[in-house]
Amino acid sequence: MSGQHVRAAAARALVPVLTAQGSLAGLEAALAAGGVAERDRSLAKALCFGVCRTLPRLQALARELLRQPFKRRDQDVQALLLLGLYQLLYMRVPAHAAVGETAGAARLLGKAWATRVLNGCLRRLQRESDTLQAGVDRDPAVAQLHPAWLLEALRQAWPAAWQAVAAANNQPGPMTLRVNRRRTTREDYLTRLGEAGLEATPCAHAADGLTLSTPCDVQALPGFAQGDVSVQDEAAQLSAELLAPALAAHPGARVLDACCAPGGKTAHLLERFDIDLLGVDSDAERLARVENTLARLDLNASLQQADAVSRDWWDGRPFDAILLDAPCSGTGVIRRHPDIKALRRPGDIRELAALQARLLDNLWALLAPGGTLLYATCSVMPAENREQIQAFVARTSDAELTTPEETGWGQPSGGGRQLLPREGGHDGFFYARLVKRR
C-alpha cells in the first residue's frame, strides 16, 4: 500500500494549491504529519513539485479527459488525476504503477467511486497520448507551462528574452552553496566536497558561491551541521557584494535587515562583515527560522517581530545601512517555487508594488545621512523593480542611485540591475543601491 499512501498524501498536499488556499511551503511537515515514511518523502515531493511545474499542461489534458469537472469538494481526486498524468508523461514510473497506484489511492481518500474514473482517464492518455498532447499544445501558454496572463506579462516585460525566462522557469534550479568565510575558504571547501565525492564549480559572480553538479541532501555536505556552508542561490548572494562598500571598512556599522526571513542574506552579511545587525520580520514562524539559521552558523544578531511598514518598533537611532529584501511576486524564483504558477494572480503585482513603495518610503526615514539602502526582489516584473525605483527616486529628493554600472552580471534596469533566471545558473533577481545625500 505504500505507493498508494504516497500518492494519497501528495494529493492532499496539492489541494490547498489547486484551491488557492495555501502553498507547498510546509510540504515536508505535511508529509510527516500524514504518516509518509522518510524514505518515501522524496518521491512525494517530486510528485508535488512536478505537478505544480507542469500544471497548465496537466490541467488542459485533464479537461480533455473528463466528461465534466470534479466538484470543488473533490479537488483531492483532481489532484490524483494530475499526479497520474504527470507520472505517465514526465517520470520514469512504470505505466502500470502510475495508473494502478494512483487510481487505487482514491480509496485512501475515502472516494472509491473515483477509482474507475481515474483508471479510465489515465488509460485513455496512454492510448491517445500523442493526439491529446498535440491538441492542448496548440495553446502557447499550455505548451510553455505558464498561465496565459503570466506568459503575456513576461513577453511584454522582456520581448527578447521571455522565451528563455519561461524555459528556465520550467527547469529545477541548481543547488548552490554559500561558503562561510569565517570558518573556511571557497577553495578549501571545494576540496572537501571532492573528498566527499561531490562535484562543484565556483560561481562566476558570487565570491562565496559553489554550484553542485548534482543536488544532494544537506546532511551530505561536509560541515553543514557545524555551519561551514549554507544553501543559497548565486543571485541572492550578491546582496553582500553590493553592500560591501558601505560595510567592509566600517566595523560596528548599525544595519537593518528588513523583512529578513528566512535569513540567508542576514547570515551572509554577518559572515562577511563585523556589524551590529537588527533583523525584523512580521512573521513569527519565519523569524524562528532566522534564529535557527544563525544558531547553526554561530552568528549573533538582534531579531524582532515587527512590521517594516510601521515605525513603532524603532528606537530612533538611524541605521548606517538597510537591506530591504521586499515582499514580491517571486516571479524570478518560479523554478524553486513552482506553486507560484497556480497561486499568483495578475492583480497581485499591483498590490505588491504598492506595499513595496510604502516600505521604501518608511524605511528611508530610518537611514542616516550618507547611509546606503539596498532594494532587492526575486521578481522579474518591471512594476516591482525598475518602475518602483524610478518612482521612488523621483519623489525622494535626497536619494541617489549608486548601483554599479559594470558588474559582470545582470543588465541595467531603471538605475538598478536585473538578473533573469538562467537554466543551470542563477535565479531571477533585481537590485538597486541608493545612498541618502548628506
Three cell numbers, residue 279: 533583523
Measured between alpha carbons, how far apart are the two ends of the chain, in Å?
A: 69
Taking CA 22 as the corner, what is the angle to CA 16 and CA 23, rounded to the nearest 5 degrees? 100
CA distances from residue 43 to 30, 47, 109, 356, 417 in whole angstroms, order as listed: 14, 6, 19, 37, 38
> Catalytic: which of 52, 203, 259, 378?
378
Contact 326, 265 (CB under 8 A): no
Q: Tell me, yes or no, if 216 is annotated catalytic.
A: no
Contact 416, 375 (CB under 8 A): yes
Distance CA 223, CA 204 (A): 23
Partners of 176 in the β-ladder: 211
Q: Which residues are catalytic?
A: 378
